Amino acid sequence: MERIIILLCGLWLYAGTACAQWVVSDPSNLAQGIVNSTNEMVHTSSTAANMLKNFQQTVRIYEQSKKYYDALKTVSNLVRSARKVQQSILLVGEISDLYMTGYRRMLADENFTPAELAAIATGYAKIIEEAAGELKELQDIVNPTDMSLTDKDRIDVVERVYGTLRRHRDLVRYFTRKHIAISLLRSRERRNLDRVLALYGSDEQRYW
């Protein structure tokens, strides 16, 4: 048991001071901060302009967490189990990035009403909140308090969390594509397709 704990925690030793202690830079808390800011933005915004202004607070929280995720990307040559821990955390960073990039463009898209933008933000927040919950469970494995778990139990949790977060990442991609597709359909009806394509990028430039 001690061996697997050492291997998992070795991730933080290689990651450097920016992410050496999960307690200091808790990615689940950072993700939850994005969720809280997004929910507040939804409740306090009545127009697209207000929503864009209030979204800046969410962006600031995201940029704070992005430094953490970027630091983890420099980690290499880790054992398989520790690598899955790293990749799980990075998946939450990717989910947040997809939200920030996609939603910022949707805020500039005249094909969405303020009510629709609020509903879209709520959907993103729900996915990110669930991802933060998965990371919290992963934290309990990396910094264990329940010593009754076997090495296999811990590895099983890492594998399950990693798989769940990959599905969440794919869901965010689908969620983003779905709403962009709605905008494209509306833009065809309004004969402003070129403007929307320029907003979201060409086939070669699309990020989703």
What pLDDT shows up at residue 117? 95
Specify if 208 maps to a domain.
Answer: no
User: Can you give the C-alpha Rg of the chain in angstroms?
Assistant: 19
- Give the predicted TM-score (pTM) of the model: 0.78
- Does 207 map to a domain? no
Domain count, the chain: 1
The answer as to whether 41 is a domain residue is yes
Q: Does 205 reside within a domain?
A: no
Helix, strand or coil for residue 150?
coil
Residue 169 pLDDT more than 90?
Answer: yes
Judging by beta carbons within 10 Å of its beta carbon (0-12, 13-18, 19+), is residue 45 exposed, middle or buried? buried
For 101-113, what is the mean pLDDT? 92
Give me the domain span that covers residue 174. Answer: 2-200
Tens of pLDDT, residue by residue over 9-40, are 333 333 333 333 333 357 888 899 999 999 99
Most confident stretch, 2-16, 31-45, 71-85: 31-45
Q: Does residue 119 lie in a domain region?
A: yes
pLDDT of residue 136 exceeding 70: yes
